[in-house]
Structure 1
Amino acid sequence: MERGWCLGDRCRNAGRDHGGQRPLQHRQYHSSRPRLGSGRKRGTHRRALGRSRGGFTSNLHCLADALGRPLAFHLTVGEAADCKAYEELIGLPERTPDALLADKGYDADAIRANPAARKIEAVIPGRSNRRVKIEHDQALYKQRNRIERMFGHLKINRAIATRYDQLANSFLGIGHLATARYWLKFVQAA
């Protein structure tokens, strides 16, 4: 007879597996992922977190107007180059800007050619390892400090400075709320 089946008085171990482990049958579907989902729910792809020297980080890229007020955000993983966010942000403004102020992370020949084709002045300092040095308007480049100050104002919110939210959508939502608070300062002054 098979194990677990018995006759008469010898049914002490009936229904037991004699020490073997039986899985609990509490799932409707017997697999590790949801049936209608496109894959696993978890993962760093939804978090926009990437490994860098400082651990898991992310980069928040911003498109701002001439006064340093944020217009749009784009979130990338920590190890991604800054120039990867250029395509996402450059097509967003309704009005064509006069100049593009960016730091050395955006110094690439393709990025310099794109604003030139759109008749936008590219004010990007060259990297130190560039063979051919490229001049830029230093007086105009000093206005880029406005966006750095804007990031400082946004980081007053502790949730942005320390990135409490794990999911990228939640973090961008907090960024948009902080931006709305930042814009209210300009609306009250007007």
Structure 2
Amino acid sequence: MHRRAPARGLSADASRAAQAIGRSRGGLTTKVHLLAEGCGRSLVKRLTAGQAADTKELVALSDAVAVLRPSGVDRHRTRLDHRTADKAYGSKANRRSLRARGLPHTIPQRADVRARSSQATGRSAGSKSFSPCRHRSQ
């Protein structure tokens, strides 16, 4: 009778999750979430599986910010002046979290959210704080 060797390491699913490999329409994919300063220097990076929701990463990225001060002395700066993000990060929970922390942000609303909002109020809806010029410059 042939006995199986004891299982070692992670299962296939756990291994893919640990390596940030996930299934999406195009096959195996990975998403890179990046928080960068205005000049494009990377501050925080996170990898997630391809099927993972983008919106859940914004708060985690914001919490992980640690920018060295120009003098090189003192604690790292953990608060940025302004956040500019893609529509994928524009959930109500993210906006509420950024407002509660007092962090100014520019995130465009998705078309379906704008349409739903305009139907509810009967007037054209646009984000009060959204600035297309500021978003384009980033």
TM-score between both structures, scaled by the size of structure 2: 0.73
User: Deviation per CA, 1:105-157, whole angstroms, max 9, x where unpaired?
Assistant: 0011110111112222120000010022342111110122xxxxxxxxxxxxx
In 2, Cα distance between the equivalents of 1:45 and 1:125? Answer: 30
Q: Could you tell me how far 1:56 is from its partner in structure 2?
A: 0.7
Q: Work out whether 1:141 is the aligned partner of 2:124.
A: no
Count matched residues: 114
Does structure 1 retain, via aligned residues, the 8 Å contact 2:86–2:107? Answer: yes
Q: Work out whether 1:108 is the aligned partner of 2:82.
A: no
Equivalent AA in structure 2 for residue 32 of structure 1: P
TM-score between both structures, scaled by the size of structure 1: 0.54
User: Deviation per CA, 1:9-48, whole angstroms, max 9, x where unpaired?
Assistant: xxxxxxxxxxxxx54x8xxxx64314xxxx5365312221
| Match in the other structure for 1:162 | none
In 1, Cα distance between the equivalents of 2:78 and 2:21? Answer: 32
User: Deviation per CA, 1:137-188, whole angstroms, max 9, x where unpaired?
Assistant: 11110122xxxxxxxxxxxxxxxxxxxxxxxxxxxxxxxxxxxxxxxxxxxx
| Match in the other structure for 2:17 | 45
In 2, Cα distance between the equivalents of 1:55 and 1:65? Answer: 32
Q: Mean alpha-carbon deviation: is it higher for 53-62 or for 85-94?
A: 85-94
| Match in the other structure for 1:171 | none
Q: Work out whether 1:119 is the aligned partner of 2:89.
A: no
Q: Could you tell me how far 1:60 is from its partner in structure 2?
A: 0.4
In 1, Cα distance between the equivalents of 2:57 and 2:79? Answer: 18
Higher Cα Rg, which structure:
1
| Match in the other structure for 1:73 | 45
In 2, Cα distance between the equivalents of 1:41 and 1:81? Answer: 23
In 2, Cα distance between the equivalents of 1:50 and 1:108? Answer: 22
Does structure 2 retain, via aligned residues, the 8 Å contact 1:123–1:141? Answer: yes
Does structure 1 retain, via aligned residues, the 8 Å contact 2:17–2:49? Answer: no
User: Deviation per CA, 1:49-91, whole angstroms, max 9, x where unpaired?
Assistant: 1111111101000111121110111011101111121122011
Matches within 5 A, 1:1-190: 23=2, 31-34=5-8, 40=10, 42=12, 43-93=15-65, 94-130=77-113, 131-132=116-117, 133-135=125-127, 136-144=130-138
In 1, Cα distance between the equivalents of 2:111 and 2:78? Answer: 33
Does structure 1 retain, via aligned residues, the 8 Å contact 2:82–2:104? Answer: yes
In 2, Cα distance between the equivalents of 1:114 and 1:126? Answer: 16
SS of residue paired to 1:68: coil
